[in-house]
C-alpha cells in the first residue's frame, strides 16, 4: 500500500504553496509591499503619496490594494504590521492613482496632491435614478477614464453601495453648489 505524505501548509504560513490562493494576493505580494503598508499605517489619518519608480502608478495602486487584502485575508504569521489596526482603517481608506503617483488615505481626503488635481468642475451629469449609468460611471472613474468628477443628482445610496461592495477607487462628495441632493463622484 502506497503512503501519501501531506505536504500542504496551513493558512498564514509564509511560503505557502497552494493553488487556492491567487498569486495576486499571495504572500510574496504582501512581503514586497509591507514597507509601503507600514508607511500608510504610521501616517494614518494623513494621506501618504508614493511615486513608483519601477512600475506604473496603476500597477502600484492595484498591487498595494492586493497586498493589503492579502494580509487581511490570510493573516500572515510573520507580518510586521498591526493587522488589527489595518483591518480597522481599511474600510475607511482609499488607494488612488493620479498621473504622477499613488495616494493612500481616508476616503474623504483629496485623491491627489493639490498640484495634480483636475481643474474642471465635472465631466458630465447623471441622474441617480439610472443605476446602470451610475455603475458604469463608477467603473470608468475607477479606471481613470475621466479627467474630472461626475456630477450625480439624487440619492447617492446606489453609488455608495456599489462602490463599497466592489471596493472601487471612487469617492463621493456633496456638491451643494450644484443643487440639493447633488454629489461629485471622483
**What is the per-residue pLDDT across 153-175, written as a single tens digit (0 to 9) for each?**
899 888 888 887 887 778 788 88
Cell matching residue 178: 450644484
Compute the distance between CA of residue 1 and CA of residue 119 in angstroms, rounded to an integer. 74
The reported pLDDT for the residue numbered 86 is: 93
| Cα-based distances in Å from 105 to 79, 99, 152, 174 | 21, 17, 23, 19
The reported pLDDT for the residue numbered 174 is: 83
Compute the distance between CA of residue 97 and CA of residue 142 in angstroms, rounded to an integer. 9
Q: Give the residue, 3 or 77, on which the prediction is more confident.
A: 77
| Cα-based distances in Å from 54 to 34, 38, 163 | 16, 20, 29
Residue 109: is it exposed, middle or buried by C-beta count within 10 angstroms (0-12/13-18/19+)?
middle
**Do residues 52 and 100 touch, judged by C-beta distance below 8 A?**
no
Compute the distance between CA of residue 62 and CA of residue 55 in angstroms, rounded to an integer. 11
pTM over 0.75: no
The reported pLDDT for the residue numbered 11 is: 44
Compute the distance between CA of residue 152 and CA of residue 89 in angstroms, rounded to an integer. 27
**What is the per-residue pLDDT across 138-155, written as a single tens digit (0 to 9) for each?**
888 877 776 678 888 899
**What is the per-residue pLDDT across 27-71, written as a single tens digit (0 to 9) for each?**
888 889 999 999 999 999 999 999 888 888 888 999 999 899 888
**What is the per-residue pLDDT across 80-128, written as a single tens digit (0 to 9) for each?**
899 999 999 998 999 988 888 899 999 887 766 655 444 344 567 888 8
Amino acid at each position: 500500500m502506497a503512503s501519501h505524505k501531506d505536504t500542504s501548509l496551513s493558512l498564514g504560513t509564509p511560503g505557502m504553496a497552494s493553488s487556492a490562493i491567487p498569486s495576486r494576493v499571495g504572500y510574496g505580494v504582501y512581503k514586497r509591499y509591507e514597507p509601503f503598508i507600514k508607511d500608510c499605517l504610521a501616517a494614518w489619518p494623513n494621506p501618504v503619496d508614493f511615486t513608483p519608480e519601477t512600475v506604473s502608478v496603476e500597477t502600484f495602486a492595484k498591487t498595494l490594494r492586493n497586498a493589503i487584502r492579502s494580509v487581511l485575508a490570510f493573516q500572515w504569521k510573520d507580518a510586521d504590521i498591526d493587522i488589527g489596526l489595518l483591518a480597522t482603517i481599511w474600510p475607511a481608506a482609499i488607494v488612488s492613482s493620479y498621473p504622477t503617483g499613488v495616494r493612500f488615505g481616508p476616503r474623504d481626503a483629496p485623491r491627489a496632491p493639490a498640484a495634480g488635481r483636475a481643474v474642471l468642475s465635472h465631466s458630465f451629469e447623471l441622474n441617480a435614478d439610472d443605476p446602470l449609468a451610475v455603475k458604469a460611471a463608477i467603473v470608468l472613474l475607477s479606471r481613470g477614464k475621466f479627467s474630472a468628477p461626475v456630477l450625480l443628482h439624487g440619492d447617492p445610496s446606489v453609488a455608495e453601495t456599489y462602490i463599497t461592495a466592489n471596493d472601487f477607487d471612487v469617492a463621493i462628495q456633496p456638491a451643494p453648489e450644484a443643487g440639493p441632493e447633488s454629489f461629485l463622484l471622483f
